[in-house]
Structure 1
């Protein structure tokens, strides 16, 4: 079994960089700048044509994205803090500013400009988002340490059932 702990590795967005992307009206990526590709760990080709939520980190409350979509569909600008998941399952924080792109007065796509977030703000937002997910009954983040032998037992039992360890644990609950 391939176990990875990359999800705990943060990539910091450099202070002098800006991440830019555009999506169609359904949220499918139509353009990314080189900085976006580099920070996300994907190539531009891997991102173009994919839904923007390919980057959604499980720590992000659903209500944040509900508010985002409700706001931009009304023709208003949205801004907020977003924790994204990289291709390698690491993560990065950005302050996102999303607005419509209009041609001849008609909304044709959305553009997003994202900038770095100071460390203190990342910590504050993680706490806020943890509380929001808890209040909304969403997934709760938990990190624990198991004796190696216990993990091996879980791994063998999951392998026998042709399941991931996470899926096996879920099946026991």
Structure 2
């Protein structure tokens, strides 16, 4: 397993537009499956990835509010699309457009989560970086993790309210604008 003290190098890694990063986790977010694209881009071996929390690749510049939104959506049995920057085991980072969904068994019970990630357009990444930078700056103004989360969550909700949209609409506006 990667040491928890991986330092971001500032080197960005990309992957091809026709590639999809796929992972599956249990209900606690522990990796149960990772495809070869995930392993290559995250600089992890299968042995290093499987059995570890998906947060293994959490980049320190990802705002807490986005992860709250993710977990709130999954607990409500909803899918979520989000722009995410991840941290590879070698310190490189990579941006993805993630689609995360609950996985259900034959009885309709949630047994885990499935995530497919595509290569995002640069314009969408730039817009996400701007928003996420503002959210992280707000988080850094607070000493406690809960206060930081509450502050960035309030800021995200206020921004979305000002624009009259949901986070899903924000993501799709970025996706559609950068595709033109």
- Normalising by the smaller structure, the TM-score range is 0.7 to 0.9
Residue matched to 2:140: 137
1-structure distance, mates of 2:101, 2:24: 10
Alpha-carbon offset, residue 39 of structure 1: 0.6
Query: CA RMSD of the aligned region, Å?
Result: 1.7
Question: Does the alignment pair 1:110 with 2:145?
Answer: no
Question: Does the alignment pair 1:119 with 2:122?
Answer: yes
Residue matched to 1:42: 44
Structure 2 counterparts to residues 56-95 of structure 1, below 5 A:
56-95=58-97
TM-score of the pair, normalised by structure 1? 0.75
* 3-state secondary structure, aligned to 2:18: coil
* 3-state secondary structure, aligned to 1:120: helix
Residue matched to 1:147: none
2-structure distance, mates of 1:113, 1:99: 9
Can you give the 5+ residue segments of structure 2 that lack an aligned partner in the other structure?
1-5, 143-180
Can you give the 5+ residue segments of structure 1 that lack an aligned partner in the other structure?
140-173
Figure out how many residues of one structure are paired with residues of the other and give that number.
Answer: 136
2-structure distance, mates of 1:82, 1:101: 20
Which structure features the higher share of helix residues?
2
Alpha-carbon offset, residue 107 of structure 1: 0.9
1:78-119 CA-to-partner distances (Å, cap 9, x unmatched) read: 110000001111100000001111112111110000000111
Alpha-carbon offset, residue 52 of structure 1: 0.4
TM-score of the pair, normalised by structure 2? 0.72
Residue matched to 2:102: 100
